[in-house]
Structure formats: structure tokens, C-alpha cells
Structure 1
């Protein structure tokens, strides 16, 4: 499953045993090393402990940290730089890390965030859902990717469902061997817009909503037409169809929804999606 992740992916990886966490992180790091990507890993454990875990599982941490390809740190170095969670500051941090990885010649930036810190009181974790949804706009550019680790023993089921919906894809250790990310969202340049691949439903609705809103905001400032390419969308529920139509109907620039399957066209028509939505089958 780890091997199927690629730049642009933002995955909520849940676990309930430490060996599951270590296995996921190790596989993710090794895949990044093979691909020539820069890797950043923030977790509650001391950096020496994290590096030892990786080293014990076959990762040459001494070499990788020496050349700067692997960076390991505590949440205070990433999520809690001011002592409390400031999502806007974290988004800015990732943008800076992306710029540095590009300048360093890396093929992509691979992030790992162990979200255990969010289970502590008085750290500002009530803004975590907003952050997880908004960070998708960074990954949609296709250079950075992230695996967010959520320990199911620390988060109540309702909160975890809500946080999962802010990610395009969610997976746990019980997933079948041929699992793939449920939804991929890719910003496009020619024509300017967004390409959706996979399935859009309740499990990733907040991620889709935030990415569409960011796209329309960007294009509105540029007064440029927007294309929503859904040719790769295998399934969209009614709520996802409404999000697409809302983006098309409320944006100042011209918006076209292209590549619609017959079932999606019918669904949009049932929801009143023509003529303003610019649906093109």
C-alpha cells in the first residue's frame, strides 16, 4: 500500500499498535529514499528514538541526516512552534519546506506527521480539522505528500471520522492488499483547474470542499476560466455533486465541469445542475 502513494497524496493513516506505526513509517521513509525525495518526520518521541526505530528497520539514518535528506523533529519544531497549534503558521512552514526541497533538487517532499500531540489538553487541537482540510491545497500542486498518523487509542471515534473526512484518503492496518488512495486531487495548468481521480463521498467530503474553495479563490483573483476535470472520477455521491455544482455556479470566472460520466450528468440534472454549472459529458 505504501508503494502506491505518490506526490500529491494526503493520507490519514490510523493505527492502534506501535508496531503498526513503525511499519508504516519505515515503509514510507524507504519509499521516499528510493524516489530521491526529501523526508520530514515530526513525532512526540525524542528524535534519537525515532532515528533508532528507523535504523533498526534498515534505514541508513546517519547518512540521510548527514546529507539533509531526512529531518526528524519534535512537534515543537513543526506543529507547535509557538507552544500552541497555529494552523496558518504550520501551512507557512510547509510552504517554506517545499521551497527548500525544490532548491535542494529533490524530486518531491514527503511529510510524516504523528498527531499524538493533538491528544494533549490546551494545545489548540480544536483547529486541527480546519488545518487538515486546508493543507490539501498545498498537496494538490503535486510536489509534496503527507501521511498523518492517528492513534485510535487517543481519539474518540466521532472526532476521528471528522478528521478523516478532511483527508482525501484514509487507511488502517486492516486494509486489503490492493488498497489505493480513494481520491486524488491534482491542480492543472493547461487548462487551469483541478483534476479529480477516484471516488468522492462522505469519507473525504471536507477535503474536496476545501480544495475546490481554494481553487475558485485563486482563479477569481486571476479572473481566469476554470476547468474541473472529473473524467477520472469513478463515483461521486450527491453531496460531492453539489460541491462541484456550487463551485461552478458561485465562482466569478467561467467554470466548466468536463469528463462527466453519464451517471454523474444524471445526478447533477436531478440536483438542478444545468445550465449554469457548465456540465460537459
Structure 2
């Protein structure tokens, strides 16, 4: 089994596989990957299929990324040059040309993200996916190309997902502090902090406390994303408020949530914690 690598530890020449079920987690990992490429002055291309070009670009900009010339967001069918369908040789040749173009224009390398959902469509030739993932490996040898291939677990069968994992030298995923059928707590990269989804009660309070403690250690301000949290009880709310109250002066906790979660935090005493700021969907408190 290929070991999971944190996305911020991917380096030039790495070819990684991202399998996901949570679109927001996917976006977070892609944003961190793109930000690292911008910091390195790399040419960046995001090939998108399931998400529209304008939507993905807006999502990345919304995460604080620069949408300058070094960042291109294009449809996945650009990979095969407008031909009648996906062709592995054409895709590899296109990436080789893009890599050469990046070098000619003074970039440190080429960084790409590739949404592989095109291969799950009925008209796609699944064999071309397997050939592409095998043949593209030679482009990474010089350490100038870095890539993440994205596989939505809801779109691919277990055999294809298993093959994708085997042919990629690395896999990337969020750091997960807790996961069970009703609750997931994981690291968020951009903005840096913690993301919680599902239902959070006192049984998850210790895991939440550990996740927030790491965010306090790593990040100046703590961003707590509760957008996909459906329920929180008083015990878990107290963990959030206590962590915010104990932040050093000049540091803040920014909580993003829906109105039901905001009401619970307010009842628990959020207004009495100066370091806590709540951003509520469709409004701000």
C-alpha cells in the first residue's frame, strides 16, 4: 500500500493520487497544492471535468489564491487536444509540450491537477485511462512535473480505484483526527484550521479538542469550518468556546457555520469570547 503524503509535502517530480468523497475536502487539497506551486513560480494547470471551469476558478480564488496568468483552469477534454475522445498518447504529448513551455518561460516547473471523471463516462475508453496513468510516469523523472490525479469514489469502481492507487507513487489525503459513520474531523489547509462534518456531541469532544490544539500550535488564527455540521451539543460547543477564550492576545478563531450551529454557540456564550468571530452562511455575526 502506498503511504499517504500530506499535500504540503509533495515536491517536484511527485505523481500523486487523490481519491475523495467530500468535494470540499478535494477543493481544500487542490487549493493547497496550487498555492505551493504559486510559491515556487511553477506554471499551473487545473484540468476539470465534474466541476465547471468558472466554478472551480471562483472556488480557488475564494480560498485566497491568485488567479494570475500562471494559473490556468481548463476543461479535461483539452488533455486530448479536441480530438474525438481520450487518447493516452495525445494526453502525454500535450503534457510534455506544456512542460517544455513552462521551462521556456522561466517557470520552475509544471504543476497540474487532473480530474479523471471523464474516464467514468459511458463513451470513454477505460483502457486509455490505464495507459495514460502508466505512460505519463516518464515525464516525472526529471523532477520538473508535479501532479495530482483526482478520483471521485462515487464515480469509479473499486478495481479502477485500486489500480489508480497502485500506479501512483504517492497518495494525498487530509489529516483525519476522527472518522466514523456520523462524524468526521480533519485538517483544513486553506485557510488553515479544522473542518468538521456530520453530528458532533460530547463523544467527539476529545477528538475536537485535539484537532483544535494542533491548529492553535500550527496556525496564527484558527479557522474552524462547520459548514457541513448538522448538529452540535453543549459539551462540544464548550470545547470551541474554551479554545477561543484561551487564545493569546491578537489571535482569533474564525468559525464558519450555518444558522442552527450559530444559535447553539450563541446560547453557549459565544458573545462573551472576544477572540471568536462567527461567519454565518447568508450573513455574518
- Aligned match of 2:141: 140
- Aligned match of 2:111: 110
Query: Equivalent residues in 2 for 1:241-256 (5 A)?
Result: none
- Aligned match of 1:37: 42
2:43 matched to 1:25?
no
- Are the aligned partners of 1:129 and 1:166 in contact in 2 as well (CA < 8 Å)? no
Offset, 1:79:
4.0
Gaps of 5+ in 2: 1-5, 178-185, 187-285
Q: Secondary structure at the match of 1:154?
A: coil
Query: For residues 58 and 92 of structure 1, what CA distance do their matches in structure 2 show?
Result: 32
- Are the aligned partners of 2:77 and 2:86 in contact in 1 as well (CA < 8 Å)? no
Q: Secondary structure at the match of 1:12?
A: strand
- Aligned match of 2:60: 54
Offset, 1:170:
2.1
From the superposition, tell whether residues 23 and 119 of structure 1 become closer, same or farther in structure 2 (CA, over 3 Å).
same
Q: Secondary structure at the match of 2:19?
A: strand
Query: Equivalent residues in 2 for 1:1-281 (5 A)?
Result: 1-44=6-49, 45-61=51-67, 64=68, 68-79=69-80, 81-173=82-174
Which structure shows the bigger proportion of residues in strand conformation?
A: 2
TM-score, normalised to structure 1's length?
Answer: 0.58
- Are the aligned partners of 1:42 and 1:75 in contact in 2 as well (CA < 8 Å)? yes
RMSD: 1.9
Map Cα deviations across residues 49-93 of structure 1 (whole Å, 9 max, x no partner).
1110011110121xx1xxx21111001211463131100000100
Offset, 1:163:
1.8
Q: Secondary structure at the match of 2:24?
A: helix
Map Cα deviations across residues 221-265 of structure 1 (whole Å, 9 max, x no partner).
xxxxxxxxxxxxxxxxxxxxxxxxxxxxxxxxxxxxxxxxxxxxx
Query: For residues 129 and 175 of structure 1, what CA distance do their matches in structure 2 show?
Result: 29
Q: Secondary structure at the match of 1:78?
A: helix
Query: For residues 173 and 152 of structure 1, what CA distance do their matches in structure 2 show?
Result: 15
- Aligned match of 1:204: none
- Are the aligned partners of 1:7 and 1:144 in contact in 2 as well (CA < 8 Å)? yes
Offset, 1:165:
1.1
Gaps of 5+ in 1: 178-281
Query: For residues 127 and 176 of structure 2, what CA distance do their matches in structure 1 show?
Result: 28
Greater C-alpha radius of gyration? 2
- Are the aligned partners of 1:38 and 1:69 in contact in 2 as well (CA < 8 Å)? yes
Q: Secondary structure at the match of 1:60?
A: coil
- Are the aligned partners of 2:7 and 2:172 in contact in 1 as well (CA < 8 Å)? no
Map Cα deviations across residues 105-154 of structure 1 (whole Å, 9 max, x no partner).
00111010011111111122222112101111101111111000111111
Query: For residues 94 and 112 of structure 2, what CA distance do their matches in structure 1 show?
Result: 12
